[in-house]
Amino acid sequence: MTNQTQQDKFMTEYLEGRKQAMTGGTIVYVGVILLTTALFITFILTAFPADAYLIRAIMTIGGIMVGGSALAFPVTLHKWAISGSHRTWATWLYYGEILIIGINTLVSFSVLLATYAGWIIPEWISLIEPFTILAIVYTLFAWGTVFQTDPLAQAQAKKLANIQALETMVADRIGDYLHTEEGENKIKEHADKQIEQMMSTERYSQRTWGSNGHKPQRAYAAETPKVEAPEGRIK
């Protein structure tokens, strides 16, 4: 067996093993995220009355979004944030989110134990508990930063800024030109044409359809004089 054949066999086996490992890792990762998300949502809902259906539904969606963020970050790091500062930001934000999920899972499980099993919550967990809701705000901040640091978005913003700068420079050049002698002559010519149009008699002439500028004269029928019959005769 040649060296090339051995390398090809090794690479094939490696890729197949990598695919199997990634499939298994993905299943485990998704399962853990579902578990932590369920705990977090259940914990959040304990803060609202049972009949507050709207806010409970909204907070449930918010908890799902936090869990979905943890699922989206690995895909982002593999497909989108692949180089430079964009990847650095995404990596650190991902680690920060995992840390927050870990803290929230600990707090959530502790509160649920205290609620349903009578476990006494340590004081330090009670101090952290009100701040666990900030996980939703962190998710908003994290993804806003990922979008803002996108190289293509920055390039598009730079392009638009250059276009705006060009339009500003053109407007400045037009203003400078209008204050020159040649520009003032152009303004005078334009003003003279407008004045000539405004003073034109045709502008104020009354035209009717087919009259060529003159009102049609109304025709009257000639009146026939009335002849009175002589007296004594039957009229």
% of the chain beyond a pLDDT of 90: 54
Count of helices and strands (H, E) across the chain: 7, 0
Residue bearing the bigger pLDDT, 93 or 118? 93
**Cβ–Cβ < 8 Å for 128, 63:** no
Mean pLDDT of 130-143: 93
Closest CA to 98 of 79, 76, 71: 71
Residue 194: band (very low, low, confident or very high) from pLDDT cuts 50, 70, 90: confident
d(CA 11, CA 17): 10
Tens-digit pLDDT profile for residues 157-180: 899 999 999 999 999 888 888 888
d(CA 107, CA 194): 78
Tens-digit pLDDT profile for residues 18-72: 899 999 999 999 999 999 999 999 999 988 998 999 999 999 999 999 999 999 9
% of the chain beyond a pLDDT of 70: 84
Cβ partners under 8 Å of residue 104, min gap 6: 36, 40, 43, 132, 135
Q: Where are the domains of the chain?
A: 3-149, 151-193
d(CA 23, CA 30): 11
Q: Which residues of 187-219 are buried (b: 16+ CB within 10 A; e: fewer)?
A: eeeeeeeeeeeeeeeeeeeeeeeeeeeeeeeee
Mean pLDDT of 199-223: 56
In angstroms, what CA-CA distances link 130 with 42, 88, 106, 113? 15, 30, 13, 17
Structure tokens at 76: 């982002």
Residue with the two structure tokens 């990596």? 91
**Cβ–Cβ < 8 Å for 102, 140:** no
- Is residue 208 classed as helix, strand or coil in its secondary structure? coil
Angle at 66 between CA 62 and CA 70, to 5 degrees: 160
Residue 235: band (very low, low, confident or very high) from pLDDT cuts 50, 70, 90: very low
**Cβ–Cβ < 8 Å for 125, 106:** yes
Mean of the per-residue pLDDT values of the chain? 85
pTM over 0.75: no
Residue 214 DSSP label: S
- Residue 169, exposed/middle/buried by CB under 10 A (0-12, 13-18, 19+)? exposed
